[in-house]
Structure 1
Amino acid sequence: MTFIQVIDCRTHRADELDRLMDDWVRATQGKRTATHSIVARDRSDPDHVVEIVEFPSYEEAMRNSHLPETDRIFQRLAAACDEGPTFTDLEVSRDEQLNTGVVRTFIEEVINGRNLDVADGLCTDGYREHDPSLSSYDVRLAQAKEENQEILEAFQPVMTIEDLFAEGDKVCARLSYTGRHSGPYQGLEPTGKEITGTGHATFRLVDGKIAESWWNWDDLGLLRQVGAVGI
């Protein structure tokens, strides 16, 4: 279970705390068990500084705290605080990545569910799609729906999300798919052949909606599977 430690302190030497964090990151390279660290300052009280550190589990956090490098940096951090820092230990009971949920719904309902109109509610009015397999690398939602309809009908793909990562306003998906060439596609008559493939997609979200997406697929591998190009 993910474990989070919150370190709360008061200091008029916040810049020094930043330097100490840099020192700790360098000193624990290849040793630390922490996976994410955030340092934040109170907007209404700039001397109030909070550090939030994430670990895969409480046990991994304890391993990290026992590193000599961690202890050394902590002693310097405590000395830079106006008063002793306080600690809050938290076991994560729910971790909801809201942007990844939107992307998952897009893939499951729009693509796998063959319901392209669902995209109207998931995407912004100014949505742009970038995909080298479309007629242009920069198309708006209506055109993207029209062209993707042909792809979905031709190959009947079912996508599996292998990995899904979020950072800031971006979500990145590693995908695989299976399908069958059951309909015409850009002049290529259906062959009935089963297809498989992989790809990556990156989404940019604004106010909980997809504003832009970038898609990359093994198009050459797909064409080889249906006999459109030689091996």
Structure 2
Amino acid sequence: MTFVQLIDCKTSRFDEMDRLMDTWVEQTRGKRTATHAVVGKDRSDASHFIEIVEFPSYEEAMRNSNLPETDKIFRELVALCDEMPTFTDLDVVRDEKMYGATARRFYETVGTRGELPPLDDLFAENYHDHDPSNEQDVMGMDAIRREIEMWRGGFDITFTVEDQVCEDDRVCTRWTFNGTHKGEFMGLAATGRKVSMTGSTVFRFNEGGRIAEGWWQYDRLGLMAQLGALDALET
């Protein structure tokens, strides 16, 4: 079970504390077990700081605490505080990956049968799309809606999310596209062929939680081969 520790302290010497933590990070390289750390400053009290440190488990956190470097740094950290810091130990019982969930919802939305649902809760108005199959980047929600409608007009689409990695404001998804060629696509009349394609997409999210930018990589050549578009070139 993921474990989180909250370190609550007051200090007028934060710059020194910040340099001290940089020293600890360097000294424990390859040994520390913390996976993520965030430091926040109280907007109503400039001397009040809270550090949130995440570990894979409580046991890993204890291993981290027992490092000689951690004990030394802790004593120096206390000396920089205006008062004794407090520690809150938390077992994580719910962890919502909000951006990841929104990215998954995009793939589900594209595969929706019938009319394409509104995209307002998924995309920012000034969405910027980078797709190597397009000569120019797609800009704006209306443009990305037309792009999606083009694909939906050509295929009955189903996306399967194979892997997903979330980091800060970006989500990378590795997906598999399956569909039946039901309508005109890229100048090709419907063939009724079932096709499959793999690819990956990186989405950047804005502060409002909407998709603001996207980068696509997928096997377009393999898709066109499955549709028979390359047959004439091979003869």
Q: 1:203 to 1:39 in 2, by over 3 A?
A: closer
TM superposition shift of 1:135: 5.7
Cα drift, residue 16 of structure 1: 1.3
| RMSD over equivalenced CA pairs, Å | 2.4
CA contact (8 A) 1:176 1:196 kept: yes
The AA in structure 2 aligned to 1:208 is G
8 Å CA contact 2:130, 2:216 repeated in 1: yes
User: Does the CA-based 8 Å contact 1:197-1:222 persist in structure 2?
Assistant: no
- 1:168 positional shift: 4.0
Q: Aligned in 2, Cα 1:25/1:162: closer, same or farther, shift over 3 Å?
A: farther
User: Do the aligned partners of residues 69 and 181 (structure 1) sit closer, same or farther apart at CA in structure 2, a change above 3 Å counting?
Assistant: farther
TM-score, scaled to structure 2: 0.84
In 1, Cα distance between the equivalents of 2:19 and 2:203? 33
Call closer, same or farther: CA 1:53–1:29 in 2, change over 3 Å. same
Q: Contact between 1:128 and 1:139, CA under 8 Å: does it hold in 2?
A: yes
Aligned length: 230
CA 1:150/1:42 → structure 2, altered by over 3 Å: closer, same or farther?
A: closer
Match of residue 209 from structure 2: 208
Uncovered stretches (5+) of structure 2, i.e. residues with no partner: none
Which stretch shifts more, 90-99 or 179-188?
A: 179-188
Pair 1:175 & 2:175 matched: yes
Partners of 1:40 and 1:120 lie apart in 2 by: 31
Offset at 1:159? 1.4
When residues 206 and 5 of structure 1 are mapped into structure 2, their CA distance, relative to the original with a 3 A threshold, is closer
Aligned to 2:220: 219
Structure 1 unpaired stretches of 5+:
none
Could you report, residue by residue, the CA deviation over 1:57-112 in whole angstroms, capped at 9, with x for unpaired residues? 11111121122222222222122223322110011122223333322222212x12
> Which residue type is aligned with residue 156 of structure 2?
Q
* Alignment-mate amino acid for residue 204 of structure 1: F
TM-score by length of 1: 0.85
